Chains A and B, each alone.
Chain A
Amino acid sequence: MTEAEIKAVVLRVLGAIAPEADLAALDPRISLRDQLDVDSVDFLNFIIGLHKELGVDIPDADVPKLATISGCVAYLASRVNKQR
């Protein structure tokens, strides 16, 4: 998968959890939780959603790496492309 494809999945999962959010306005380097109105339950659902969509196992210890869009894309790209 390309990084652009992964980013599209990330935004789609996020959009299902917080449909009110203006995803186009997100700064990819700033923490999602600082930019969006999401609580810890939303964030947990976000991680579960990424796991379901991409089939990637995300250990709890890696969750902090997924705090930003850039972080998500970098982390998921390395995992998705390694698995296939």
Chain B
Amino acid sequence: MTWRPIEKPKTGWTVVPNLLDYERTSAEFSWEAVRRELDGLPGGRGLNIAHEAVDRHAAGERRSHLALRWLGKQGETRDFTYGELSALSNRFANVLRGLGVGKSDRVFALSGRIPELYVAALGTLKNGSVFCPLFSAFGPEPIQQRLAIGEGKVLITTGLLYGRRKVKDLRRSLPHLKHVILIGGDKAALAEPAAHDFAALMAAADDRFEIPPTDPEEPALLHFTSGTTGRPKGAMHAHQAVVAHYITGKYALDFHSEDIFWCTADPGWVTGTSYGIVSPLTHGITNVVDEGDFDAERWYAILQDQKVTVWYTAPTAVRMLMKAGTEPIRKYDLSRLRFIASVGEPLNPEAVVWGQEAFGLPIHDNWWQTETGGIMIANYAALDIRPGSMGKPLPGIEAAVVQKQKDGTVDVIHAPDIQGELALRPGWPSMFRGYLHEEERYRKCFAAGWYLTGDLAKRDADGYFWFVGRADDVIKSAGHLIGPFEVESALMEHPAVAEAGVIGKPDPVIGEVVKAFVSLKAGYNASEALKKELLGFARTRLGPAVAPKEIDFRDSVPKTRSGKIMRRLLKARELGLPEGDLSTLESYE
């Protein structure tokens, strides 16, 4: 069925959207002009994300404005003004300097959404070190791999996670890891070599710090993402990215100076850093952080009690809220809410329209990925929405649907509604600057002057983009990318497993569920007990965010003659779809 467009008013706004005239703003746009809306380091010493996010406000009239409001799991609240956040991040920058951690050294964080994480992120950026957040639901293997690839010099974590994720055992295989800083560290963990107590270090550190000269191209952030094959890829972003963090906040999230913003994403994923930390702070607005997990009633209470005006969430969350219906919402006063956006996977038209029924506001889907560093294609406050579409490219972003040819050339598809690969013209400030230590994989992302996103899309006659699917086998579960290879490799470590193939099984709420197909070595028999053992085995290594939720046994896993697992075929069989071209198949099951 086709959905009627949601029309936006042309006049009569209570709060006038920043991007009122899409065509005109796009035509007049220049990155240089946006750069001039930021301050730069004093004395022309460059551009540093933390200065734009915190210090420039702390030095001005926003000093006493609420920067961060933290809501704890147990109902606690902690507030930080821009002035306080500046002083605390100064302390942390001094802590790093005192430990001999310098420019370009990589500082990893593994924690839930606690205030120390935000202080550490900003302090790391001030020090010129590279901040790399890890999702706290990662198991020991994803943590080890990322720390090893990233040659992490410092790990900031909690005493609880240090024990639970077996970081102690991992340290033997991480020669670059020089310091572990423990938040709320327990005695045993603190007794280990090169372990430090966060609170003690902070208390002893000076709260004044001058950000050293920072070239806009210096590395600032490292975010890991998953491909179909091989190890996770570390996408590197430069301080310059802040120009995009700022302008996308202005145009795609419509930030105004008195806004109270809540991004529900965890900083362990790129959204939780670009929009859960940096973007709102560059606008000097109030950023709400909730430590708790998803809970419909809790979320509505936060929207009401915190008087949230702009809310950025994910399709999985929206669909979970839809399940609970609109009835619970009626108990809350959500009249302050002005703009809702969503990212992570395409938002189905039902959900866009449900937003209107539930909140009196449509939900604005947007599209971007770890590599792009910021929102690239979006639905805007003043632009009519076509439910199910990701919207139009940000001013300054050139997007196209292309077909890559075998000879390496790229044909741009100009005709509307034809499927191809979504491509972007390189050159925006938050574009990734490389995959760490993987020049070849980085190079392969580009062809004939385009960045190829790996997502399949269509563009309609009016310039709206529509997501179709992934061009590869990467799994998208609850908005997070999961590399099937990473999961298969962990399963293969179990003595009973001969082969493993992992797919994303479509799921109405979370997009895709990670499902593994496993064949057993001789001497092992398929049983419920073994299934549970494998499930537990994978969860212990990978953590609940990456491990399969379902495992099925197969006599063999289909592979091509060259030995590549045919995940598409596994998926087609699981879903009862046509199996397609099997000419390269090695053997039938």
Contacts and interface: CB of A to CB of B under 8 A. Distances in A.
B293 interface: yes
A16 interface: yes
Nearest to A45: B549
Contacts of A20: 535-537, 539-540
Nearest to A38: B544
Contact of A44 (B164, B298, B328, B509): B509
Q: Looking at B73, B295, B543, which has the most chain A CB atoms within 10 Å of its CB?
A: B295
Chain A facing B: main interface SS: helix
B293 A33 contact: yes
A57 interface: no
B478 interface: yes
B45 to A, nearest CB: 43
Nearest to B297: A61
A27 interface: no
Nearest to B321: A60
Contacts of B545: 39
Contact of A41 (B298, B510, B540, B543): B510
A19 B544 CA distance: 11
**Interface size class for chain B?**
20 to 34
Contacts of A38: 544
Contact of B533 (A18, A19, A64): A19
B328 A42 contact: no
B139 to A, nearest CB: 7
B549 A41 contact: yes
A37 interface: yes
Interface string B354-387: 0000000000000000000000000000000000
Interface string A5-17: 0000000000110
Contact of A39 (B298, B324, B328, B544): B544
Interface in B262-300: 293-298
B575 to A, nearest CB: 20
A33 B292 CA distance: 10
A84 B324 CA distance: 26
B532 interface: yes
Interface of A: 15-16, 18-21, 33-34, 37-45, 60-61, 63-64
